[in-house]
Amino acid sequence: MDDGGKYSPLGSGQRAGDSIEFEFRYPDGPFFNTFTWDAKAATWTCRLQNVDAEGKRVPFAEDTLARR
């Protein structure tokens, strides 16, 4: 079985308020994964973004994570 994670570059992150943004530098451009905490709803939003040819961030996926 092959692990996809072994093909991923190391990411670095920075916290700003209730968000933590991770940047992964791939050969074809950066990929961003941002986790944002919503204290009122007690949920995390996970936003994934690619960067297009002009350098603009493009949505890839977004999920809301909540405790069961």
Q: What is the pLDDT of residues 2-38, one digit of tens each?
A: 566 667 788 889 999 999 999 999 888 899 999 999 9
Query: Rounded distance, CA 20 to CA 45, Å?
Result: 11
Give residue 4's pLDDT: 61
Q: Across all residues in the chain, what is the average pLDDT?
A: 91
pTM to 2 decimal places: 0.82
Query: Rounded distance, CA 57 to CA 22, Å?
Result: 14
Give residue 48's pLDDT: 98
